[in-house]
A and B are shown apart, each in its own frame.
Chain A
Amino acid sequence: MADGPFAQAFVYLLAAVVAVPVARRLGLGSVLGYLVAGVVIGPYALGFVGTEGEDVLHFAEFGVVMMLFLIGLELEPARLWRLRVPILGLGGLQVALTALVVAVGAGVAGQDVRAAIAIGLILSLSSTAIVLQTFQEKGLMGTEAGQNGFSVLLFQDIAVIPMLALLPLLATVDAAGGDGGDAPLRELPGWGQALAVLAAVALIVLAGRFLLRPVFRFIAGAGIREVFTAAALLIVVGIALLMDTVGLSPALGTFVAGVVLADSEYRHELEGDIEPFKGLLLGLFFIAVGAGIDFGVLGDDPLRIAGIVAGLVAAKAAVLLALGVRFRMGVDQRTLFALALAQGGEFAFVLLATARQQGVLDATTVSTLVGAVAVSMAVTPLLLLVAEGVLLPRIGPARAERPEADAIDTEHPVIIAGFGGFGSTVGRFLRANGVDATVLDADPGHVEALRRLGLKVFYGDASRLDLLRAAGAERARLLIIALGDGEEAGELVRNVRRHFPDLRVMVRAHDRTGAYRAINDGVDDVYRESLDTALRMGTDALAALGRSRYQAVRAARTFRWHDERHLRELAAVTDRKQHVSEARARIRAIEEAMLGDGEAILAEVDAGWDNTSLRRESAGEG
């Protein structure tokens, strides 16, 4: 038994640190690792955690809340609107049909009608935490299964609210307690509750639109990072508190807040700040689920529990499969989709507890179902492993076949760091060619000004790895660094090359020194900001002097080609003295190459159009 917060923290962290890497190494995924760690430290194995595991579970549910906030952040309202068909259609049908099937099953098993309906509703939910974490880890979010799975989970998260409202109506006994717990709303009449719900959501939307952005701007302007992190946490905690007070799902509230903030300039900064907390808490949540599996109840009647779990998973998977056929998913995709969402969800724990409070279900049923849901959650990663390893190879292609464009992550193929005159020109050019970029800039005032111009820019210091990750550096194809030349750009280049080796980096360099540094950091695509402009000016100067414009353009290109080649050669010469002499030699070399024997006509540029030799030959023959 571990005592005290430090000892507790030590046990949980140790379990996670040991179990998760091992699980990942074995290809089992982090979720299963956490669950196993939970079982191991739980009361039925090593016994480091006892009944307080349940409190930990409640605390760790906050990880789910944070996850929904992050999901909301990645879902701009427009995108959410585009997903309305899968969310309402697929999600609605999944919940309704699963609830029906499970309720009938429960009825057959001897529950009375009301209890059966409650069980059906509660078990129709799947685990957002497990499914999304697993999908993300396996890179399946962009697939059809990932997309539809996400839509269904989103609908379920929303459906929790009416379910909470519905449970009291299903009570066979008058609700015990009567003080309504921490939800004063229950005392209100039906229309009052509905109104309060709308008011709370409206409050979040309005605050997100009009209050939070100025506040963030103010905080960002102060330039103290941890205060911004604190503010981000404050938002999430505050909303969760508000929703809890009015008796709504905190997860839904933070999700709404996330959606509202999704097109704000602070999106990636918020993501970067919340992500580690979410990760830790979600891990804690999985550990707690593992630790909370009541092997006592399981042990009493293992066959019964096994039967319930098998029945539940089979029923849910069957409904999902049927929907997969109806919604025209490929065989592989619907198999994945069905197996991934076939477990009970974390909200089931909450709803089961409520159902018990409200007298809808009796204590034995509840603890049996809690055990069954926990086991079904633990089984999911295994089912997916089986699906991936055994089933999918036989029934055809798995993995993403659809283009990434439809993926939930709004991530763009290009990230632009630094949106001054240079970066913004690159960005506008790309956009004019139908390529969207995620733009980061570290100056809050600048970001605001650009937003007013209608350019979508996010606040954040791109040299921070977590922020880059939040901006999608893992999946982006290009990172365009248009920062100043200082150490921060160099630091960013080195960081990116270490942590995202597949990300192609293009660097704007202020001058030759900056270019040398980038080249020596291993960047192939280095762009001196003044070279092309200077050559364009030189071209116009030649034209103004009466040279053919076409010749001048070609001369500039030739000059640039030489100069770029020399730049790369000279980058390797670090000795100062040697560098100067080598540079001088090359400047001379360009001039000689282009001017030929001192004529004003560019020898190297247009020898093909010179007929002097042809004329001489022809005269010789004549």
Chain B
Amino acid sequence: MPQVLILFAHPAEARSRVNRVLADAVRDLPGVTFRDLYETYPEFDIRVRDEQELLDAHDAVVLQHPLYWYSCPAIVKEWLDLVLEHGWAYGRHGHHLRGKTWLTAVTTAGTSEAYSPEGTHGVHIRDLLVPFERTAVLCGMRYLPPFAVHGSLRMDAAQIAMAAEDYRRVVEALRDGTLDHAAAEGAPRLNTPALMNVICAAAPDG
């Protein structure tokens, strides 16, 4: 069974409304390794070898974090900078990540309308996350459109729970290898209602 590594990063989890619930939905799933980066490395002293061993042992990596200033929280950047070494993750001899799947799961304060060419931010979330996409591609990984929970500021508990449920389904599909990569290809984000039904259609094998 493929294994999913979730790298969770929220510098002030106590202040989180949505991310915390999303995290709780996947934290204890079998076949899923949930890793809280801020909790593991409160002083940013990332142990590169440990992280690389974890990556080796998993088939899919999910980076879950809030969107801060159109990007990731600081520790995720630090993690990328240190762990994805040349000769290990990319370059002529860097093949450790080849064929693995990359998914970014973000929450944004702005609504999905705001994250569109007509909206306040002028682009889709996927276009904002191009640096991550390029990183994944350079490492030979399969990049999925982002799982983006928009409008987090004004979600009520039921909406948050629905988003968490979607998230759990995506992670489970990744774990079970049933996620339909072809259908997701090119979508601006993974978790539109229509796409969710297609890519996670196959019932879990048990």
Interface of A with B (CB < 8 Å)? 539, 547-554, 601, 606, 609-612, 614-615, 618-619, 622
B152-164 interface mask toward A, CB cutoff 8 Å, 1 = contact, 0 = none?
0110000000000
A548 contact set on B, CB distance < 8 A: 12-14, 38-39
In the complex, the answer to whether A549 meets B15 with C-beta atoms within 8 Å is no
Across the interface, A550 reaches (CB within 8 A) one of B15, B42, B153, B154, namely B42
In the complex, the answer to whether B12 meets A609 with C-beta atoms within 8 Å is yes
In the complex, the answer to whether B109 meets A611 with C-beta atoms within 8 Å is yes
Kindly report which residue of chain B lies nearest to residue A612, judged by CB atoms: B15
Across the interface, B38 reaches (CB within 8 A) one of A539, A549, A601, A619, namely A549
Q: Say what secondary structure dominates the interface of chain A.
A: helix
In the complex, the answer to whether A551 meets B14 with C-beta atoms within 8 Å is yes
B15 contact set on A, CB distance < 8 A: 601, 606, 609-612
Interface centre among B15, B38, B43, B154, by most chain A C-beta atoms within 10 angstroms, is B15
Q: List 14 A-B contacts (CB under 8 A).
A: A539-B42, A547-B14, A548-B12, A548-B13, A548-B39, A551-B11, A553-B43, A610-B15, A611-B153, A614-B109, A618-B153, A618-B154, A619-B153, A619-B154
A137 nearest CB across to chain B (Å)? 48
Complex Cα distance, B41 from A554, in Å, reads 12
Kindly report which residue of chain B lies nearest to residue A605, judged by CB atoms: B12
For the complex, count residues of B whose C-beta is within 8 A of A.
13
Kindly report which residue of chain B lies nearest to residue A607, judged by CB atoms: B12
B55-90 interface mask toward A, CB cutoff 8 Å, 1 = contact, 0 = none?
000000000000010000000000000000000000
A553 contact set on B, CB distance < 8 A: 42-43
Interface centre among B11, B14, B39, by most chain A C-beta atoms within 10 angstroms, is B14
Which 3 residue pairs of A and B lie closest in terms of their CB atoms, listed nearest first?
A: A550-B38, A609-B12, A553-B42
In the complex, the answer to whether A618 meets B109 with C-beta atoms within 8 Å is yes
Tally of contacts, chain A with chain B, CB under 8 A: 47
Complex Cα distance, B153 from A601, in Å, reads 19
B180 nearest CB across to chain A (Å)? 34
Complex Cα distance, B74 from A57, in Å, reads 74
B43 contact set on A, CB distance < 8 A: 553
In the complex, the answer to whether A622 meets B154 with C-beta atoms within 8 Å is yes
Complex Cα distance, B12 from A216, in Å, reads 60
Kindly report which residue of chain A lies nearest to residue B38, judged by CB atoms: A550
Complex Cα distance, B75 from A553, in Å, reads 14
Across the interface, B12 reaches (CB within 8 A) one of A610, A615, A619, namely A610
In the complex, the answer to whether A552 meets B42 with C-beta atoms within 8 Å is yes
A19 nearest CB across to chain B (Å)? 61
Complex Cα distance, B109 from A487, in Å, reads 60
B41 nearest CB across to chain A (Å)? 8
In the complex, the answer to whether B14 meets A615 with C-beta atoms within 8 Å is no
In the complex, the answer to whether B14 meets A601 with C-beta atoms within 8 Å is yes
B153 contact set on A, CB distance < 8 A: 611, 614-615, 618-619
Complex Cα distance, B114 from A5, in Å, reads 101
B191 nearest CB across to chain A (Å)? 21
In the complex, the answer to whether B12 meets A551 with C-beta atoms within 8 Å is yes
Complex Cα distance, B42 from A548, in Å, reads 9
B166 nearest CB across to chain A (Å)? 22
Interface centre among B12, B42, B109, by most chain A C-beta atoms within 10 angstroms, is B12
B154 contact set on A, CB distance < 8 A: 615, 618-619, 622
Complex Cα distance, B109 from A551, in Å, reads 22
B14 contact set on A, CB distance < 8 A: 547-548, 551, 601
Complex Cα distance, B15 from A611, in Å, reads 8
Complex Cα distance, B36 from A551, in Å, reads 13
A609 contact set on B, CB distance < 8 A: 11-12, 15, 68
Query: Which B residues, 140 to 192, have Cβ-Cβ distances below 8 Å to chain A?
Result: 153-154
Apart from the given pairs A550-B11, A611-B153, 17 other A-B contacts in the complex at a CB distance below 8 Å:
A547-B14, A548-B12, A548-B13, A549-B39, A549-B42, A550-B38, A551-B14, A552-B42, A606-B12, A606-B15, A609-B11, A609-B12, A610-B12, A610-B15, A611-B109, A614-B153, A619-B153
A567 nearest CB across to chain B (Å)? 23
B38 contact set on A, CB distance < 8 A: 548-550
Complex Cα distance, B95 from A598, in Å, reads 52
Kindly report which residue of chain B lies nearest to residue A609, judged by CB atoms: B12
Kindly report which residue of chain A lies nearest to residue B37, judged by CB atoms: A550
In the complex, the answer to whether B11 meets A606 with C-beta atoms within 8 Å is yes
In the complex, the answer to whether A550 meets B39 with C-beta atoms within 8 Å is yes
B92-120 interface mask toward A, CB cutoff 8 Å, 1 = contact, 0 = none?
00000000000000000100000000000
Complex Cα distance, B14 from A606, in Å, reads 11
B12-42 interface mask toward A, CB cutoff 8 Å, 1 = contact, 0 = none?
1111000000000000000000000011001
A551 nearest CB across to chain B (Å)? 7
Complex Cα distance, B42 from A539, in Å, reads 10
A554 contact set on B, CB distance < 8 A: 42
